[in-house]
Amino acid sequence: MTQDLKKASLCCLKLRMNYSMLTILLLGSVCVFAQVEAHLDNYVIACQTNFTDPEDGAVLDGDEKYFVDFINKETVMTLPDFANKWGAPGHYQSAMAQLEICKNNLKVAVQAEQKPPEAIDPPESTIYSMYKVVQGERNTLICFVNNFYPPPVKVRWSKNNAEVKEGVTLSRYYPNSDFTFHQFSTLSVTPEEGDLYSCRVEHKGLSQPQTKIWEPEFQTESDMAETAFCGIGLTLGLLGVGVGTFFLIKGNNCN
């Protein structure tokens, strides 16, 4: 067997569990080797002892291809329209079968391992705007929560120290390559001078909620003029250096 084929047969299994909630992850990774570059195709199955919120989906090079919506009983393709050659016909039925296997494997693992302590990874969060910030114009704030295990996390938004619930969204949680998860929460805003927004994240791995603060920064006309003058000055300076260098070289050639 060649080294490439050995790499292509990579298959990972990770088990994390505790007394209250046990989760098993089966992550099949297939490396597809070309002459120039390699690609990583991940298929993820996750289930818990209480059998709520199962996960089934596929990710190619970090971009999700599809996931299974167990509530609406369908497979949802998440690739853009131009990639319509991708499809997963009959995958929901297959996902249900894989879910039963996951539950059985989890039951066996719980009995065999006698409920070892659960590995917990606290989340890291950051907050930023989706678009360029302009005073009085609609925008979207994004709270990106990453590298946490196990799910879920709770995300709460506030504006000027008052909790905000309208215009808030929370995505599904997505798997990372290191078996942790990431998730997005968004808030629709119309930023004004003096506003102060915060994103508070709660997770069992945190001793206290993790809060990130965002304050809009607007560029005034004087700032724009100063930036323009600086740009013009830098351009003229570089032009002067270029012209001086040209005449210096010509003078040396004449000598």
- Mean pLDDT of the region 41-48: 78
Q: Domain 124-214 carries which CATH code?
A: 2.60.40.10
Kindly report, residue by residue over 119-144, the tens digit of the pLDDT.
899 999 999 999 999 999 999 999 99
Asked if 168 contacts 157 with a C-beta cutoff of 8 angstroms, the reply is: yes
Checking if the pLDDT of 205 tops 70, the result is yes
What is the pLDDT, as a whole number, of residue 85?
64
Longest dimension (CA), the chain: 91
What is the pLDDT, as a whole number, of residue 72?
83
Cβ count near 101 (within 10 Å): 12
- Mean pLDDT of the region 164-191: 90
Q: Are strands 162-164 and 38-48 parallel, antiparallel or unpaired?
A: unpaired
What is the pLDDT, as a whole number, of residue 2?
42
Nearest-angstrom CA–CA distance, 17 and 11: 20
What is the pLDDT, as a whole number, of residue 47?
80
Q: Per DSSP, what are the bridge partners of residue 164?
A: 157
Kindly report, residue by residue over 46-90, the tens digit of the pLDDT.
787 765 667 777 777 667 777 888 888 888 877 666 555 666 778
Residue ranges per structural domain of the chain: 3-113, 124-214
Checking if the pLDDT of 251 tops 70, the result is no
Q: What is the pTM of this model?
A: 0.62
CATH C-level class of 3-113: alpha beta
* Matching residue, tokens 């678009």: 131
What is the pLDDT, as a whole number, of residue 185?
96
Checking if the pLDDT of 163 tops 90, the result is yes
Checking if the pLDDT of 155 tops 90, the result is yes
What is the pLDDT, as a whole number, of residue 146?
96
Whether the domain at 3-113 and the domain at 124-214 fall into the same CATH topology: no
Confidence of residue 24 (pLDDT cuts 50, 70, 90): very low
Asked if 107 contacts 48 with a C-beta cutoff of 8 angstroms, the reply is: no
